[in-house]
Amino acid sequence: MIPRRKIARKKAPGTSRARWGSLPNSYSDFISSIIGEEYGFFGLFLLVLAFFILISTTFLIAIREKNEIKKLISVGFGSWIFFQTVINLGGAVGIVPITGIVLPFVS
């Protein structure tokens, strides 16, 4: 889980202490915790904003698309990224059990 005091106190990137043993699978399951510790709230905000833009773009493409197959592929891709992101970030925050699903395009 992401300690709030670690997010609030911003240090230089690369000075993270959690990845050196106290956080299991920091390179895959808890990469958002490391981003939060190294870049603070602003880094996590940018990460969530990037996923929001990506997911909303896939659904906007699906709405505008005339071809049914392309529409289904776009909705499927957007849903896949959405659920994988929600499960990973929810596990890092502690509201969802940790399942081993990595954060898409980051882990």
In the numeric block, which tokens belong to residue 29? 């399951």
- Nearest residue to 6 (alpha-carbon basis) of 42, 45, 33: 33
Query: Can you give the pLDDT at residue 94?
Result: 83
Collect the ranges in the chain with pLDDT lower than 50: none
Residue with tokens 């230089």: 12
Query: Can you give the pLDDT at residue 70?
Result: 94
- Nearest residue to 91 (alpha-carbon basis) of 104, 106, 102: 102
Q: What is the pLDDT of residues 56-81, one digit of tens each?
A: 999 999 999 999 999 999 999 999 99
Query: Can you give the pLDDT at residue 85?
Result: 93
Share above pLDDT 90 across residues of the chain, in percent, rounded to a whole number: 40
Query: Can you give the pLDDT at residue 51?
Result: 95
From the number of C-beta atoms within 10 Å of its C-beta (0-12, 13-18, 19+), residue 104 rates as: middle
| Cα separation, 70 vs 63, whole angstroms | 10
